[in-house]
Amino acid sequence: MRTLFYIIAALTVSASMGLATVHTISNSGFTFSPNNVTIVSGDTVQFVIAAMHDAVEVSKATWDVNGNTSNGGFMVPFGGGSIVLTDTGTHYYVCEPHASIGMKGIIAVNPAPPPPLNSLTVESTVDQDGNISTTADRMMKNWSLKLYRDSVGSGVVLDSVVSGKSFTAGNLPGGTYVAVEADSASWSHISVNVDGVSQGATAAHQWPVTVFSGENHTISFLNFGAHTIMSSAVFTFVPESLAVVSGDTVHFVLDPMHTAREVSRSTWLANDTVSNGGFDLPHGGGSAILSALGTHYYVCTVHASIGMKGRIVVLAPGAFFTVDRQIAAGWNMVSLPVNAPDRRTTTLFPTAVSHAFSYQGSYVTQSLLSIGLGYWLKFNNDQTASLTGFPVVQDTIDALKGWNMIGSLAVPHSSHAIASLPGGIISSPMFGFNGSYFVADTIVPGYGYWLKVSAQGKLILDTASGSSLPSAASADPARRDLQGKSRLTIRDAMGREKALYFSVRRDGGAGSAGELPPIPPPGAFDVRFSSGHELQFLAASGGRESGIVISSASYPITAAWDVEAVDGTVTLGIDGRGVSLTGRGAIKLTTPPRSLFLRAAGVSPSDYTLNQAFPNPFNSATVVRYDLPVDSRVLIRVYSVLGQLVATLADGIELAGQKSVSWNAADHVSGVYFLRLDARPAAGTGTSFRRVVKAVLQR
């Protein structure tokens, strides 16, 4: 895939400043004009075309036959826009709806000339969340910059006060130079990067650097504004919704192709661009002071037709509302039940000792919290977090098929007061976390929750809505009678516990029910069957083992059982030895077991087998099942892709039967691993067995 950057590069000058080269392509009817352009890597190409036309990069083969299938390169929306191409070579593009009649063009990209020797690049960068340890939320900003020789005031080498652009000064004599960034009351200087290396937290907006022969250096000043809206590469404003107090300044830091114009609500809904007389910021953005209370709607005048728009809610200080969220030591599921002026994690939860993690099929680090979503956060001790902002009493959340971490409203409400679009896609009860997962009847402000849906759609939280969420019983019929099932409760040294349920089926096979949400981050206590469920049906005749996965427990742990008489005797397998469970009892485990499972009486397997790990990919722990037809000497090891031994999961004599062993990979890096089983009959006669399965650890 060709590389495409939606940022403006630092401008290169020699003895004086100059602008980066911009090449304009327009259209004449159904023809691009010019349709063949040669540029230098890093140049900007601006498409100024009619609203019926776009520009999509394609392969040469597709271009030759007037096709319109994208090759994954640049995509300029209808009406045009700007791109910056860095990959050298020939880029072929077409107008998607009119490729069949030959509306197409070519952009040839030549290598950029090498930077001048003895150069200094000085630039200003905006960091949206004010966290200097995260870099994905940064954009270049037009700012007044100066470069002095020796010391400030001793002679200006370059001054960008007129154009307000970043610059590069080349062919400098060796010596000391001082870069200076203009000061601004509405922005905070938070750090300086020199040649990509952070100099730590500093409010300095002057920075010295020494230039020697043949060296090139870059000084980047990092700035933060409390209410900053940026543009994304997918033509959206980030964030799309913001709440501020009357009189606050809102900063728009946008790519040069984008603007921000205030419009009426009806114009906003129609994706139109007619101004309502409010703020009207030029290409690249600017700042606006908002005083009028209410919702201010705005659009990008160039890309409103494709839905590039946002809104800002302006509130009186007294309209704010505070939610006190009780925090427990360790991992917590949190959410933002108020529209806070500052949504940085470091502001809302300053004592957190981890990044915030959302869930998008896997855990993803976030620095800004969004209303409607749930997050994992870790704390060192019990405390109270006060969340202040405009109260959220209704929200619509985009939900992906499968498990979703969702947020809360500003007041408690029933977990059944959730609607879905389309209807009927909610397929689980609501799960909360209080040291382990539990079924939640009430959605409490400031807490996060898990919910599973059977198809992509939307979830609607509204304190005034009716019930749509199935109860714990109706969402999963197997949960209706958990109280009548046998129970195994795991309790660790910190008092955290989780009950697993099981039942022996005399007239059916093994199975599971009561699916649990994804495993929490490493360090959070969790217990589940290896199937990912909390209810397991054991086949009376099959002898199949049901593995148990314990994550992040503090040892010693206690395994207490309460077996219903109808289930008879069940075996708790612990590292190859069996404990018979009848009635009530308990056993203490002082160290993490390599293998832990439940099994009803049954016949032994007929052959050696090694099954695929589950879950796979996995976050911190996975389970692999294997069959032993006779008592066997078993060795199970884990290897890296380089063939290095990572862990030994089993090494010793094990009884015949259907087995399982878990691997807790919390201390290992993400990647591909191989689990190998070597087994041979303990009696010393018979064929040995070896098999390998692949498991993917994904943080």
Q: Which domains, ranges and CATH numbers included, belong to the chain?
A: 4-110 (2.60.40.420), 119-224 (2.60.40.10), 228-317 (2.60.40.420), 320-469 (no CATH), 476-603 (no CATH), 609-699 (2.60.40.1930)
DSSP SS3 for 495:
coil
Give the pLDDT confidence score for residue 463 in this predicted structure.
64
Torsion angle in degrees (nearest 10) through CA of 83, 87, 92, 97: -40
Count of other CB atoms within 10 angstroms of residue 381 = 10
Give the pLDDT confidence score for residue 587 in this predicted structure.
95
Give the pLDDT confidence score for residue 315 in this predicted structure.
81
| Confidence at 175, pLDDT banded by 50, 70, 90 | confident
Paired residues of 502 in beta bridges:
486, 536
Is 351 or 256 the better-scoring residue by pLDDT?
351
Q: For residue 91, give every residue at least 6 positions away whose Cβ sits within 8 Å of its Cβ, in sequence order, or none.
A: 2, 57, 73, 74, 85, 106, 107, 108, 109
Give the pLDDT confidence score for residue 295 in this predicted structure.
87
Give the pLDDT confidence score for residue 9 in this predicted structure.
26
Task: Please say whether the dihedral angle defined by the alpha carbons of residues 660, 666, 672 and 677, taken in this order, is positive or negative.
Answer: negative
Give the pLDDT confidence score for residue 17 in this predicted structure.
35
Paired residues of 151 in beta bridges:
none
Give the pLDDT confidence score for residue 601 in this predicted structure.
61
Q: Give the model confidence (pLDDT) of 301-328 as tens digits.
A: 988 988 899 988 888 877 778 999 999 9
Give the pLDDT confidence score for residue 18 in this predicted structure.
36
Q: Mean pLDDT across the stretch 611-640?
A: 89
Whether 292 shows a pLDDT value over 90: the answer reads yes
Query: Which range, of 145-159, 407-421, 465-479, 543-557, averages the lowest pLDDT?
Result: 465-479
Give the pLDDT confidence score for residue 508 in this predicted structure.
63
Give the pLDDT confidence score for residue 542 in this predicted structure.
55
Q: Mean pLDDT across the stretch 417-428?
A: 89
Give the pLDDT confidence score for residue 471 in this predicted structure.
41
| Confidence at 8, pLDDT banded by 50, 70, 90 | very low
Q: Mean pLDDT across the stretch 689-695?
A: 93
Count of other CB atoms within 10 angstroms of residue 249 = 16
Give the pLDDT confidence score for residue 166 in this predicted structure.
76
Pairing of strands 374-379, 309-315: unpaired
Give me the chain's average pLDDT, please.
85
Q: Give the model confidence (pLDDT) of 145-166 as tens digits.
A: 888 888 887 677 777 755 456 7
Q: Mean pLDDT across the stretch 672-682?
A: 93
Give the pLDDT confidence score for residue 490 in this predicted structure.
96
Give the pLDDT confidence score for residue 165 in this predicted structure.
67
| Confidence at 99, pLDDT banded by 50, 70, 90 | very high
Q: Long-range contacts of range 278-284, CB-CB < 8 Å, 24 or more positions apart?
A: 281/252, 281/254, 283/254, 283/256, 283/257, 283/258, 283/259, 284/142, 284/254, 284/255, 284/256, 284/258
DSSP SS3 for 69:
coil
Percent of the chain predicted with pLDDT > 90: 42
Query: Which range, of 6-20, 76-90, 170-184, 652-666, averages the lowest pLDDT?
Result: 6-20
Give the pLDDT confidence score for residue 115 in this predicted structure.
67
DSSP letters of 468-484?
-SPPHHHHSGGGTTGGG
pTM of the shown model: 0.56
Give the pLDDT confidence score for residue 474 in this predicted structure.
42
Whether 132 shows a pLDDT value over 70: the answer reads yes
| Confidence at 630, pLDDT banded by 50, 70, 90 | confident
Query: Which range, of 65-74, 83-92, 108-117, averages the lowest pLDDT?
Result: 108-117
Q: Mean pLDDT across the stretch 29-57?
A: 91
Q: Mean pLDDT across the stretch 34-48?
A: 91
Query: Which range, of 51-55, 272-276, 379-383, averages the lowest pLDDT?
Result: 51-55
Whether 12 shows a pLDDT value over 60: the answer reads no
| CB distance 106 to 37 below 8 Å | yes
| 443: enclosing H helix or E strand | strand 442-443
Q: Give the model confidence (pLDDT) of 430-455 as tens digits.
A: 999 999 999 998 999 999 999 999 99
Q: Mean pLDDT across the stretch 225-246?
A: 84
Percent of the chain predicted with pLDDT > 70: 91
The DSSP output letter for 10 is P
Give the pLDDT confidence score for residue 671 in this predicted structure.
92
Q: Mean pLDDT across the stretch 597-617?
A: 82
